Amino acid sequence: MENNKVLRIESPAPPIKVDDWLRGEPFANFQPGKVYLVEFWATWCGPCVAAMPHLVELKEKYKDRGFEVVGVATSEQAPTADEARTKLDAWLTERFPNLNYRIAFDYTGEMNILWMEASSSLGIPTSFVVDRDGHIAFIGHPSELDDVLPKVLNGSWRSSDEAPEGLLSTGIEGPLRTSRWRPGDQRVRLHLSQRLTSTDCNILPCRRARCTMTQARRKVEKPLSLSVREKECISWVARGKSSWEIGKILDISYNTVNFHIKNVMRKLDCGSRTVAAIKAINMGIIEL
């Protein structure tokens, strides 16, 4: 299957075409008036698994406001679809017996083509938020959902300054974060045009595949200084670690990790942690 459509913010959400539903009621179309989170993940992806308890919390928190979560497993590894489905079902039963959101399984690769490849998303976990009109409101990392979801749910997201930032997290062209974006502002673009080395691939979220990307560079007008802890946190981000994992490694809290990462994003003028990690490497602030 080939897909020539480009998926970006405000695009109509693609259809849900999966092999099977392992948890929750099946559905094929997004219902008007509801907000959906479509989360691409895999059992072997540490950051994906680490994000799942928070997705459970979000589903419970916003269940009375028309919010639905759909986890889409497209990257399970097994010789056949039946084996992959069986392994996934057993894993869910063991690890998350009381999961409160839908889990869809796709072994054909069609969902990857319709959603991940169409949006130039380079790795998992990747979150797609679909608004009440059935359009894409956000594409990015699940760690950003706490800021995004309340605004999508109350209808203020499209008009907010933050809305374009979701473009940065997964390889679509978008403006660097500023207090107010204006046409002509400098952009970062990550796209599939240059093969990366195995070391370069470590800066991406979990991805067991050959990936390609052009790393953007931005001229810096004055020297930037990061604290030792900020460098440690963004270095682990560059290696694909989640905030929870970084906290365990550095023996600090999850909130402290996010505090330092947000400081790095602010200092480097970036809209996502992934872009901040790339920029820090390109500027020589950190090394892998």
- Residues composing the chain: 288
The answer as to whether 7 is a domain residue is no
* 55-107: pLDDT as tens digits: 999 999 999 999 999 999 999 988 999 999 999 999 999 999 999 999 999 99
**Nearest partner of 22 among 79, 124, 95, 116, judged by Cα:** 95
Say whether 227 sits in a helix, a strand or coil: coil
Domain boundary residue among 136, 170, 204?
170
Q: Write the burial class of residue 198 (CB in 10 Å: 0-12 exposed, 13-18 middle, 19+ buried).
A: exposed
Co-location of 162 and 193 in the same domain: no
* Angle subtended by helix axes 243-250 and 46-62, to nearest 10: 120
Co-location of 208 and 269 in the same domain: yes
- List, in order, residues 6 or more apart from 216 with CB less than 8 Å away: 188, 189, 190, 275, 278, 279, 282
Domain boundary residue among 170, 195, 225?
170
Can you read off the two tokens belonging to residue 155? Answer: 């209808």
Rounded to the nearest integer, the mean pLDDT of the chain is 78
Co-location of 166 and 25 in the same domain: yes
Bridge-partner residues for 187, per DSSP? Answer: 175
Q: Write the burial class of residue 163 (CB in 10 Å: 0-12 exposed, 13-18 middle, 19+ buried).
A: buried
Co-location of 30 and 100 in the same domain: yes
Out of 148-152, 167-171, 186-190, 267-271, give the one with best mean pLDDT.
Answer: 148-152
Domain residues for the domain of 255 are: 175-282
The answer as to whether 8 is a domain residue is no
Angstrom CA distances, 133 to 12, 68, 91, 111, 244, stand at 9, 14, 34, 21, 33
The average pLDDT across 98-123 equals 91
Co-location of 33 and 146 in the same domain: yes
* CATH code of the domain containing 242: 1.10.10.10
* 247-266: pLDDT as tens digits: 899 998 888 888 899 889 88
* CATH code of the domain containing 149: 3.40.30.10
The answer as to whether 142 is a domain residue is yes
Domain boundary residue among 155, 170, 185?
170
pLDDT at 288: 74
- List, in order, residues 6 or more apart from 257 with CB less than 8 Å away: 233, 243, 244, 246, 247, 250
Co-location of 243 and 151 in the same domain: no
Co-location of 114 and 150 in the same domain: yes
Q: How many CA atoms lie less than 13 Å away from 29 in the CB half-sphere?
A: 4
Give the Cα separation of 217 and 230 in Å (integer): 20
Co-location of 223 and 183 in the same domain: yes
Total domains in the chain come to: 2
Report residue 228 CA to chain centroid gap. Answer: 26
Sign of CA dihedral 127, 106, 121, 5: negative
The answer as to whether 220 is a domain residue is yes
pLDDT at 42: 94
Q: Strands 67-73 and 102-105: what pairing?
A: parallel
The average pLDDT across 98-119 equals 93
The answer as to whether 153 is a domain residue is yes
- Whether 115 contacts 38, CB under 8 Å: yes
